[in-house]
Amino acid sequence: MTIATERQARKAFTLRDAARHFWKYPSPWVLGTTFIVAVMVRVLVGDWQVTDALVPAAMLAVFPFFEWLVHVFILHWRPKRVGRLTIDPLLAREHRRHHIDPRRVGLIFIPWRALLWVVPLASAVALLAFPRAGMGLTFLVFIVALGLCYEWTHYLIHTDYKPKNAVYRAIWRNHRQHHYKNEHYWFTVTSAGTADRVLGTYPDPATVPTSPTAKNLHALGA
C-alpha cells in the first residue's frame, strides 16, 4: 500500500468501521455480556429507590478521578525489586507495550486476563459494600457501563477516526498528547481536563517539552 493510498484509507474510516472492529476483541464482549446480565438481574430484583439515582450521579463525578488514579499508579507503575522478586503487574506491562506501539489495536483494550479478576471484584463490591442488593446492582450496571465507555473512547482515539465535534476533539487531543507529547500529563481518557485540571496534570501543551520516554515508559522498553 502506498502512502497516498494509506492516507485515503484513513480518511475513509468511519464510525461504523470503528464499531465493527471494536467487537472483534475480547474485552468489549466480556464487559458487554456482564452489562446485559447485570441489567437483567437488576430489573428482576426491583426495589427501586431514590438512592438508585444517586449512585450513577456519584459515579459520574468520581470516575475521572478513578481513571486518573488507575492510570498514574497502576498503568504507569514502575517495576520494583523486593529481594529477588520483581513486582511488575500485568496491567503495567501491557500498558508499557501500548505506549511503545499506540496504534496496535490489540494493546488498546483492558487485557482479558485482567478482566478475569476485575469483573468478579466489581461484582463482589456490588454485593457486599452496599446496604441493599438493588443499590449494589445499580452500581454494578453503571461501573460496567463506564468500563465499556472507557474501552470505546480509548479504542476510538487510537483508530483513524477523526473527531467530528468539539467535545470528542478535546478528549482525542488530550490523550494523544499523553502518548506523543509527554506521558507525565493528560491522564484522563473519557473526559478532557476534569481530574487533570484538579490534580495538576493539565498544562498548556506549548509549555511542556516533548518527552523522550513517551513511547518507552521509565526507559524500560516492553
The three-state secondary structure class of 141 is: helix
- For residues 160 and 180, give the distance between their C-alpha atoms in angstroms, rounded to a whole number: 15
Whether the predicted pLDDT of 222 surpasses 80: no
Q: What percent of the chain has pLDDT over 70?
A: 94
Place of cell 456519584: 58
The tens digit of pLDDT for each residue in 134-191 reads: 999 999 999 999 999 999 999 999 999 988 889 999 999 999 999 999 999 999 999 9
Helix (H) or strand (E) holding 44: helix 26-45
Whether pTM > 0.85 for this model: the answer is: yes
By C-alpha distance, which of 212, 216, 177 is closest to 193?
Answer: 177
By C-alpha distance, which of 162, 150, 152 is closest to 11?
Answer: 162
- Least confident residue range of 4-13, 51-60, 94-103, 201-210: 4-13
The tens digit of pLDDT for each residue in 101-147 reads: 999 999 999 999 999 999 999 999 999 999 999 999 999 999 999 99
- For residues 98 and 118, give the distance between their C-alpha atoms in angstroms, rounded to a whole number: 20
What pLDDT was estimated at residue 172?
95
Contact between 133 and 45 (Cβ < 8 Å): yes
User: What are the grid coordinates assigned to 189, written together?
Assistant: 481518557
- For residues 175 and 178, give the distance between their C-alpha atoms in angstroms, rounded to a whole number: 5
- For residues 193 and 170, give the distance between their C-alpha atoms in angstroms, rounded to a whole number: 9
Query: What is the distance between the terminal CA atoms of the chain, rounded to a whole angstrom?
Result: 28
The three-state secondary structure class of 196 is: helix
